[in-house]
Chain A
Amino acid sequence: AQSVTQLDSQVPVFEEAPVELRCNYSSSVSVYLFWYVQYPNQGLQLLLKYLSGSTLVKGINGFEAEFNKSQTSFHLRKPSVHISDTAEYFCAVSELLQGAQKLVFGQGTRLTINP
Chain B
Amino acid sequence: KAGVTQTPRYLIKTRGQQVTLSCSPISGHRSVSWYQQTPGQGLQFLFEYFSETQRNKGNFPGRFSGRQFSNSRSEMNVSTLELGDSALYLCASGSSGSYNEQFFGPGTRLTVL
Residue positions of A touching B, CB distance < 8 A: 32, 36, 41-46, 49, 51, 90, 92, 94, 96-108
Interface presence of B42 (CB below 8 A): yes
Label chain B's interface by main secondary structure: strand
A67 to chain B, nearest CB (A): 15
Q: Which residues of A contact B55 (CB under 8 A)?
A: 98-100
Interfacial residues of chain B within 40-98, with CB under 8 A of chain A in the complex = 42-45, 48, 50, 55-56, 58, 90, 92, 94, 98
Residue positions of B touching A, CB distance < 8 A: 4, 31, 33, 35, 42-45, 48, 50, 55-56, 58, 90, 92, 94, 98-107
Label chain A's interface by main secondary structure: strand
Q: Which residues of B contact A106 (CB under 8 A)?
A: 42
Known: A43-B90, A43-B106, A102-B33. A94 touches B56 (CB 8 A): no
